[in-house]
Chain A
Amino acid sequence: MADATFEPKIIAFLCNWCSYRAADLAGTSRIKYPPNLRMIRVMCSGRVDPTFVLKAFALGADGVMIAGCHPGECHYLEQNYKTMRRFAMLRHTLRKLGLEEGRVRLQWASAAEGAQLARAIRDMTEEVRALGPLNWPAQWSEEDGSIETAIQRLEEEHAQAMEVAA
């Protein structure tokens, strides 16, 4: 159950051309959204290395959003398709690591879609709030950090998961 005072921390990567401009537009239009999302500007969503997302979680983020131009509208022609492919793999990996799907989100927002971006931020904030704190770093610190422990835990989790499936 989520703590009533819990305020999720969400890191967002926005591309310079569409989604960062959408954020500018949301601001200029004075559209309100929760202050939980902290934005990083990259030139293209294709720049978002999956390790950026892992790093954000490892440092204590509760959610990560990647925002880019709509498919077919990328400033760099087709780089957001590469983002899409990477995102599919990243989400798969995160699922294996036990992360709920709602903690990562790929959001398309054109430069004209300030209102849509704000709505996505509101939705995601509420979704992550409902999921509760992730607190990855603290979970790790309980273990000794050795590879053996990590593998052992994975094996346990795997066995558990198989049980549920059967």
Chain B
Amino acid sequence: MSERVGVYVCHCGSNIAGVVDVEDVSRWAGENLDDVVVSRDYIFMCSSLGQELIEDDIKKEGLTRVVVAACSPHLHERTFRRACASAGLNPYLFQMASIREQVSWTTQDKAAATAKSKAMIAGAVERVKLHQALEPNEVPVNPNTLVVGGGIAGIQAALELADAGYQVHLVEREPSIGGHMAQFDKTFPTLDCAACILTPKMSDVGNHPNINLLSYSEVEEVSGYVGNFRARVRKKARYVNEADCTGCGICIDKCPKKVVDEVFEAGLGYRKAIYRPFPQAVPKFPVIDRESCIYFERGTCKACEKFCPTNAIDFEQQDTALDLEVGNIILATGYDLFDSRKIPQYGYGRLANVYTSLEFERLCNASGPTEGKIVLRDGVTQPKSVAIIHCVGSRDKRHNTHCSAICCMGALKFGHLVMEKTGAEVYSFYIDMRPLHKGYEEFYDRLLEEGMHFIRGRVAEVTDAARQPGEEGKLIVQAEDTLLGMQRRVPVDMVILMAALQPRADAKDVGLQFGISCSMAGWFTERHPKLDPVATMTDGVFIAGTCQGPKDIPDTVSQGAAAAARVQGMIAVGSVEVEPVVATIHEERCSGCRICNNLCPFNAIDFLQDKAVSYVNAALCKGCGTCVAACPAGAISGAHFSNEQIFAEISGLLYDVVRGNGAKALLPVEVPA
């Protein structure tokens, strides 16, 4: 019995119809393609009216197969599958042809676009006729969630889920949660103290009965699939027994070894070899830094152990591995700061009083190395003038093309703090001012009134070579003021570089570990840039905060909450449908050669000794199809991507050649029996 195929060609407003002659295409499909019984074009197939067209035809015309030529299947395949299912047709008896992303948006040649659309529809029609009805596998969703990264995004996500009553494992690489926000002094535009708003949330995380906080830990391995992930977490040895430690801090006082704190204090302050990054750290337990500890270096000292009132120090402690089972994963791994040394003409690392934005945050933080006093590197002199350089490593083709989104507002905040604390003159060198969100423009206005100087121009150089009177002993900022159209040399005491936000150096490895992709720069890629910003192409893996792209604290918090909401939705439903695209080995054809066994990276293929054949474990199979392509006996079939289906698609795509050259293309393809 031949199939009854319905073809629907979408105009997508003028997105497709502006280039492709959709009426011609739909008429052609109806007249020329075998088994096509209905062929229509419609302005928006994804609209409810468009979907109803399909549903009505399935019911009235008895369609057994449906092809929609519209956008990418990544966008609307689900929509149309649902439409088919609601009219009683198995959703896998449907195929999409992407004539928008692959045709109308990539060419302006109308004739060629129309011809290519016909080929793509012919391919889809030939393929869909060989589709088989499939049933998605329903798998339960483990209600526990893994949150990776304990910055404000991860904290927000973990708290939302934990408050909703679900168990969360929060993994943080550093000894304490808090992330970059914990290092900041104030937050724009309200000038709330960062610690005052963050630390309550941090201690909520530390005390929450539903949160298993794994600080000083890293995810090493992830396996499984949506609803059923397994993660191996390595808990690094703290050399402090958490069960006994009260967090009194005596060990830190007694430790004789002082080292520069490159992480939390951004190199401006010191910490001990046994340390907590900052007083409000969560968890409160200190960590012994093995690299700088005298005992680990020379075999003697143990001052911390001697003075610890609860005998919590344990020099023999080892890293431990934990295996977690979770249903969903939220990645909130944050950003790295651009290394300002890469722009040598700004003098960072060479000229003492050039600071990065993060260093300045520590400098004006009351709990920082200078207790909040804004002073030069000599530790005493207050600057009388400060220059703030925007876009250091951002909007710069040599480094990062993106805008780092937070630097304009950060610079305004710094300007305010400098003027408030020192009365110094502040010069901001900007390319464009971008105060985008609520209350930001008003903050900019406020700084204009407070007397901050704004010079529109990218800085060419920061130098200590005085050329004019008044420049001696100063840092001179040379820039073209593009509003005045003239060169300016501004002598100042201190320069702050608003360094770019960059993807984490290991973002690509992390992405690979969790099976999600990154942009060219290394930001994690969301499922849809507008409509699905926290999901990824991998079901069950969500992203939040600056690992997805530069953003400020409010946006980061929103994404953390959004990701948690998505996970809660999954948990509330309790089960998820997994695509039934898996490989199957036909025992009677399998010769037991075992070629396929070593091809599967998921160990989904077992060899059955008793029957001497290989067998695919459907629960482990991810459906890549590599074994299908490799089987010399053709004994493995790949659901929804079978050889027959792909051969048929090739012959359809080449309909114009095939019909001309006498090839036996449209005949059924013989399959090895």
Q: Which residues of A are interface residues toward B (Cβ below 8 A)?
A: 7, 9, 11, 17-18, 20-21, 23-24, 26-28, 30-35, 38-44, 46-52, 55-56, 58-61, 72-73, 75-79, 82, 86, 110-113, 118, 135, 137-138, 141
Number of B positions contacting A (CB below 8 A) = 60
Q: Are A40 and B100 also in contact (CB < 8 A) when A35-B113, A78-B601 are?
A: no
A9 to B660, CA, bound (A): 13
Q: Are A110 and B650 also in contact (CB < 8 A) when A21-B74, A78-B601 are?
A: no
Interface string of B403-442 (1 = CB under 8 A from A): 0000000000000000000000000000000000000000
Q: Is the CB of B641 within 8 A of A32?
A: no
Q: Are A44 and B650 also in contact (CB < 8 A) when A33-B107, A76-B601 are?
A: no
Q: Is the CB of B517 within 8 A of A112?
A: yes
A110 to B523, CA, bound (A): 13
Q: Is the CB of B629 within 8 A of A112?
A: no
Q: Is the CB of B106 within 8 A of A47?
A: no
Interface string of B623-653 (1 = CB under 8 A from A): 1111011100000001001010011011101
A11 to B649, CA, bound (A): 10
Question: Which chain A residues border B628 with CB–CB below 8 Å?
Answer: 47, 49
Which of B25-33, B115-123, B244-252 lines the interface with chain A?
B115-123
A30 to B105, CA, bound (A): 5
Q: Is the CB of A60 within 8 A of B624?
A: no
Question: Which chain B residues border A23 with CB–CB below 8 Å?
Answer: 98, 101-102
CB of A4, distance to nearest CB on chain B (Å): 16
Q: Is the CB of A111 within 8 A of B512?
A: no
The yes or no answer to B657 lying at the interface (CB within 8 A) is yes
Interface string of B517-559 (1 = CB under 8 A from A): 1111000010000000000011000000000000000000000
CB of A14, distance to nearest CB on chain B (Å): 10
Question: Which chain A residues border B622 with CB–CB below 8 Å?
Answer: 76
Q: Which residue of B lies closest to A58 (CB)?
A: B663
CB of B396, distance to nearest CB on chain A (Å): 19
Question: Which chain B residues border A78 with CB–CB below 8 Å?
Answer: 601
Question: Which chain B residues border A32 with CB–CB below 8 Å?
Answer: 106-108
Contact of B73 among A41, A86, A141 (CB under 8 A): A41
Among A11, A33, A43, A138, max chain B CB count under 10 A is at: A43
Q: Is the CB of B512 within 8 A of A73?
A: yes
Q: Are A21 and B517 also in contact (CB < 8 A) when A11-B650, A26-B106, A47-B629 are?
A: yes
Interface string of B441-485 (1 = CB under 8 A from A): 000000000000000000000000000000000000000000000
Question: Which chain B residues border A58 with CB–CB below 8 Å?
Answer: 663
The yes or no answer to B103 lying at the interface (CB within 8 A) is yes
Q: Is the CB of B102 within 8 A of A59?
A: no
Q: Is the CB of B663 within 8 A of A60?
A: yes
Q: Is the CB of B658 within 8 A of A59?
A: yes
8 A-B interface contacts by CB (under 8 A) = A9-B654, A27-B101, A27-B102, A40-B650, A59-B654, A111-B525, A112-B518, A137-B663
Q: Are A73 and B508 also in contact (CB < 8 A) when A28-B101, A47-B626, A110-B517 are?
A: yes
CB of A62, distance to nearest CB on chain B (Å): 9
Question: Which chain B residues border A138 with CB–CB below 8 Å?
Answer: 661-662
A77 to B379, CA, bound (A): 52
Q: Is the CB of B624 within 8 A of A47?
A: yes
Contact of B641 among A33, A39, A42, A59 (CB under 8 A): A42
Q: Which residue of A lies closest to B107 (CB)?
A: A35
The yes or no answer to B317 lying at the interface (CB within 8 A) is no
The 7 closest A-B pairs by CB, nearest first: A27-B101, A47-B625, A46-B626, A60-B657, A44-B624, A49-B629, A76-B624
Q: Is the CB of A60 within 8 A of B525?
A: no
Question: Which chain A residues border B123 with CB–CB below 8 Å?
Answer: 38, 40
CB of A158, distance to nearest CB on chain B (Å): 26
Question: Which chain B residues border A110 with CB–CB below 8 Å?
Answer: 517-518, 520
